[in-house]
């Protein structure tokens, strides 16, 4: 019940604190999460287009995910989500703390999803070079794949774009703020995946910790936009103003 109450309270505050948008925060998973326990996280909005997001433990992989997710719901049809990861770290160091765009059927731990996973890569907190890849769970409670990396290594900041066209999801990245885009494909690693969702989906930014519940992943994500004819509002940047932004950040820190 406490978990469900948290979702409701966040939704109510988000509606009043973020002009024109209904950004919500879900803390998905618990003691039985992959690489758990997942012990929750925070979302603190910064400026007018982004936030710092954290998660302790958990993983976006395996049968039951554990992650912090900032999202909008009710998205239908084709869309593009774009954002910049300014910095991403794990404390203590863990290679597989992951952050990025998530498209999911719902906020249950066994939900089908597409996740554009970005690892710390050559950040000093990483145990070895990783990079970015697409992770897909095609069936509820099923396994995730692929089990291979795309781009590696990375260097912050990196701008990402995930485009949905029907059942096809294609990812690209940019090292100059979106002026030039490159596929995340590398060698036999693909830059696209397919998944059939039923009706409306949720779209947002997710992060997990890792390391058997020991690591807290932290990322600063800015320049977030979600655009498409089936997106509530059509083009939805993160937008907060003045004291309400501070109130939102303080409220989330206490959850």
What domains are there in the chain, each with its CATH number? 2-254 (2.60.120.200)
Confidence at residue 232, expressed as pLDDT on a 0 to 100 scale:
87
Flag whether pLDDT at 72 surpasses 90: yes
Q: How far, in Å, CA of 120 to CA of 35, rounded? A: 17
Kindly report the pTM of this predicted structure. Answer: 0.86
73, HSE (Cβ side, Cα atoms, 13 Å): 11
Confidence at residue 147, expressed as pLDDT on a 0 to 100 scale:
63
Residues 212-230, mean pLDDT to the nearest whole number:
95
Comparison of pLDDT for 247 and 128, the residue scoring more: 128
Flag whether pLDDT at 234 surpasses 70: no
Q: Which of 81-90, 105-114, 234-243 shows the lowest mean pLDDT across its residues? A: 234-243
Confidence at residue 214, expressed as pLDDT on a 0 to 100 scale:
96
φ, ψ (nearest 5 deg) of residue 42: -135, 160
The set of residues, in sequence order, having a beta carbon less than 8 Å from that of 132 and lying 6+ positions away, is 100, 116, 117, 118, 119, 121, 149, 150, 151, 152, 154, 158, 160, 171, 173, 184
- 173 Rama class: left (phi>0) / alpha (psi -120 to 50) / beta: beta
pLDDT above 70 covers a percentage of the chain that reads: 82
Short-list 111, 49, 74, 92, CA closest to 241: 49
Q: pLDDT of 161-188, one tens digit each?
A: 999 999 999 999 999 999 999 999 887 7
């Amino acid at each position: 019940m406490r978990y469900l109450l948290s979702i409701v309270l966040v939704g109510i505050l988000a509606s009043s604190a973020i002009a024109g948008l209904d950004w919500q925060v879900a803390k998905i998973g618990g003691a039985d999460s992959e690489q758990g326990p997942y012990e929750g996280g925070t979302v603190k909005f910064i400026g007018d287009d982004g936030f710092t997001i954290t998660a302790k433990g958990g993983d976006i992989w395996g049968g039951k995910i554990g992650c912090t997710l900032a999202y909008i719901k009710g998205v239908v049809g084709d869309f593009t989500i774009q954002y910049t990861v300014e910095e991403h770290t794990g404390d203590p160091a863990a290679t597989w703390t992951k952050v990025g765009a998530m498209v999911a059927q719902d906020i249950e731990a066994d939900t089908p999803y597409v996740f554009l996973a970005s690892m710390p890569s050559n950040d000093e907190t990483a145990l070895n070079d990783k990079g970015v890849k697409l992770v897909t769970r095609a069936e509820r409670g099923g396994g995730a794949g692929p089990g291979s990396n795309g781009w590696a290594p990375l260097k912050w900041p990196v701008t990402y774009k995930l485009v949905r066209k029907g059942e096809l999801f294609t990812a690209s990245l940019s090292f100059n703020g979106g002026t030039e885009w490159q596929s995340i494909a590398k060698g036999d690693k693909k830059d696209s995946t397919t998944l059939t969702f039923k009706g409306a989906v949720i779209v947002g930014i997710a992060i997990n910790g890792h390391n058997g519940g020991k690591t807290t992943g932290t990322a600063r994500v800015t320049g977030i936009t979600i655009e498409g004819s089936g997106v509530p509002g059509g083009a939805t940047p993160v937008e907060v103003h003045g004291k309400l932004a501070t109130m939102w950040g303080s409220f989330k820190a206490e959850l």
